[in-house]
Every structure is written in structure tokens, then in C-alpha cells.
Amino acid sequence: MADAVNHLYVGLPVLDDAKHYWVSNEEIDKLLRAGAGWLANHPERDLITRRYLAHKGSFARQALARLAEVDDAEADALDDAMAPSAAAALANPHDGGDAKEADKPVPLVVQRHGAVLAALRSCGARRVIDLGCGSGALLPTLLSEPTFTDIVGVDVSHRALEQAARRLHLDRMPDRQRARLTLLQGALTYTDSRLVGYDAAVLMEVIEHLDLDRLPALEHAVFAAAGPDTVIVTTPNVEHNVRYEHLPAGTMRHRDHRFEWTRDQFAGWAGRVAGRHGYDVRLLPVGTDDAEVGPPTQMAVFTRAPREHADQVHPSPPRSAGGAA
């Protein structure tokens, strides 16, 4: 009922496309409170925000920037990729697809979830850990995949896990669905016996929130101690930041980021980690792969190498020596 009231509170003025009173800066806080847990990832987020704030551009920009921080989904992180429905319409032009849908860009966060899901499907994982799950942005995507029989969300923050439980409506989730999901509090820089024996682990937009001197501890906890067959890591590509018009030069995409790597730096780190722990690694773009600055998100898929050549891993080499790990 509380969720329904929040949706109505936002939806009524949005559908009316008018507010019949003076709109002040306080409306931004009201929108973010009522939109907690759903607005950041809503496909019409920008339209809802603009209408709710009476088309006041400065207010809308502030709200979108703050929504970006909620789920690390950058306010301007949209590229020219097509939504799945639009791609299907183009592949089957006689099916009556809406031309407007074909021109609609897909938020980077949605593309990121799709890339992670595709990598998990490709490796045949059934038991999956979402490390650093935060408020549970990826967990609905994982739960929507019936082949995943055991899904674990791990985060150091109790508050984030409470938000994840609310986002997923854990208290009302059907028993069969609930049995597939576990939420655990834990620090990713410490070994945890509860995380041993899973097919795959995901670190989606996590490593950049750690200080660089803590990465070796995370590496040991994930690759050596937990040791899943597949590890998927995504992180921003700092070279792409110049494409964000509203991001000041030299700043990072999120106020909590401790670093953001170039493609060479990420490739160098991934290659060294793979070599130390007996994995092969593939580097893949997420989002439009800009010819000059690369994709907005970079992804590494680590796969445990067969024993006969585990000591001869050959990851994709970096293009230059610059690195920060």
C-alpha cells in the first residue's frame, strides 16, 4: 500500500503535467523520497522528473544528478543503443513495431544489467553471488532468470540490504522465489566461507568504490578464497567521461568513487589478477564503443582456466604501460 501511495503521489501530477502551486527546491526532496527504490531505474525517469518539477530545467538537472548517485546510473549515461523491443521491430518490420521505440535510447544501467546477464548465461552459472549488491539494483534481473537456482546478495551496509529487501518486496515474495534468494552482510575485503562453492560472482560497479590499497584484499577474498568458476567485473571507463557534457573535466562520475580507470589500466589489472589465480579473462565493452574514447562501461569476464594450462593464461594485453593497481 505504501508503494502504491508513493507511485500515485508522483504519478498524478506527472499525468496532469501541471502543478497548481509554486514549485520550489523542496519539491526535489519530495520527489526523491517518493521515488526511492523505483524512479532511478524507471524507463521514463527523465520525463517523470521534468513533469513533476514543472519543467524547471535547473531543478530537473539537480534531481537527475541525485538519482544518478542513488544507483550509480549517470544522469546523462544514455547512448544510441536500441531497446530490445525496437531491435526486434527492425528485425521484423512487418510486425508493426512503433517507430518511436526504435529511436529511444537505452539507459546505460539497463545495458549493464543485460551484459552481466548475458555473461552469466554464457558460462552456464546456476548459483550466483552479487558482491556489493547495494540496494539490490541487479537482483531483480537475476531473479527473473529461472536457471539461477541460488542467488546471494552481499553488501557491507545493513541499510543497503534493508533497501534491497524493500525493493524486492521480500516480505511478500512467493515462497519458491524467496527460497532462491539470500541477503548477507559482509565486507568484500575479508574472506568469507559462506561464499565458497558458487558458480559465478558479479562485481558490478564495485571496485571503484574501494581505495586502491584495498584491491589486493578484495582480489584474495574473491579469486583465491571464494574461487568461483566465473567472476564478472564492470567499472567505468574514465576515458569516456569527456562525452558527458554536464560532468566537469577532471571529476569522477560518482562522489564515492576512489578511482576510475582507463581501458589500459583496467586491462593491466585484469591480466595480472587472472595470471595470479589461474583464470582466463575477456575484456568486453558495455554501451556504445566510441571509436575515440571507448565504451562508457568496461567489463572483464574471468573464467577459471583448465588445469592443463592454468599456469599459461594469456589475457588481452594492455595497449600501454599506464596502470594504477
Q: 3-state SS of 119-143?
A: HHHHHCCCEEEEECCCCCCCHHHHH
Looking at 71, 88, 120, which one is the last position of a domain? 71
Please provide residue 243's backbone torsions phi and psi, each rounded to the nearest 5 degrees. -85, -10
Cα–Cα distance measured from residue 89 to residue 68, given in angstroms and rounded to the nearest whole number: 30
Instruction: Please check whether residues 67 and 156 belong to one and the same domain.
Output: no
- Beta 297-304 vs 181-185: how paired, if at all? unpaired
- Beta 127-131 vs 150-155: how paired, if at all? parallel
Q: How many domains does the chain have?
A: 2
Instruction: Please check whether residues 208 and 305 belong to one and the same domain.
Output: yes
Instruction: Please check whether residues 219 and 297 belong to one and the same domain.
Output: yes
Instruction: Please check whether residues 225 and 160 belong to one and the same domain.
Output: yes
Instruction: Please check whether residues 112 and 58 belong to one and the same domain.
Output: no
Instruction: Please check whether residues 15 and 132 belong to one and the same domain.
Output: no
User: Partners of 203 in the beta sheet?
Assistant: 233
Looking at 46, 71, 96, which one is the last position of a domain? 71
Instruction: Please check whether residues 111 and 240 belong to one and the same domain.
Output: yes
Instruction: Please check whether residues 250 and 301 belong to one and the same domain.
Output: yes
Cα–Cα distance measured from residue 127 to residue 241, given in angstroms and rounded to the nearest whole number: 34
Cα–Cα distance measured from residue 132 to residue 260, given in angstroms and rounded to the nearest whole number: 17
Instruction: Please check whether residues 201 and 250 belong to one and the same domain.
Output: yes
Residues of 181-200 as b/e, b for ≥16 C-beta within 10 angstroms? bebeebebbeebeebeebbb
How large is the C-alpha radius of gyration of the chain?
21
What confidence score (pLDDT) does residue 245 get? Answer: 82
Residue at 100 is within a domain = no
- Classify 286 as helix, strand or coil: strand
Residue at 314 is within a domain = no
| Structural domain of 16 | 2-71
C-alpha cell at 325: 593497481
DSSP code of 237? B
Residue at 83 is within a domain = no
Residue at 320 is within a domain = no
DSSP for 238-281 reads GGGGGG-TTS-TT--SSTT-S--B-HHHHHHHHHHHHHHHTEEE
One digit per residue, the tens of pLDDT, for the chain of length 325 reads 766 777 787 888 888 777 667 777 788 878 877 876 677 667 678 888 888 888 888 888 777 766 654 444 333 332 333 333 333 433 444 454 455 555 566 788 889 999 999 999 999 999 999 999 999 999 999 999 999 999 999 999 888 899 999 999 999 999 999 999 999 999 999 999 999 999 999 999 999 999 999 999 999 999 999 999 999 999 999 999 998 888 888 888 888 899 999 999 999 999 999 999 999 999 999 998 999 999 999 999 999 987 655 455 444 444 433 344 3
Residue at 64 is within a domain = yes
Residue at 253 is within a domain = yes
The CATH number linked to 127 is 3.40.50.150
User: Partners of 182 in the beta sheet?
Assistant: 152
Instruction: Please check whether residues 171 and 119 belong to one and the same domain.
Output: yes
Instruction: Please check whether residues 67 and 112 belong to one and the same domain.
Output: no
Residue at 246 is within a domain = yes
Looking at 71, 95, 116, which one is the last position of a domain? 71
Instruction: Please check whether residues 114 and 216 belong to one and the same domain.
Output: yes
DSSP for 161-214 reads HHHHHHHTTGGGS-HHHHTTEEEEE--TTS--GGGTT-SEEEEES-GGGS-GGG
User: Partners of 284 in the beta sheet?
Assistant: 299
CB 267 within 8 A of CB 316: yes
Residue at 84 is within a domain = no
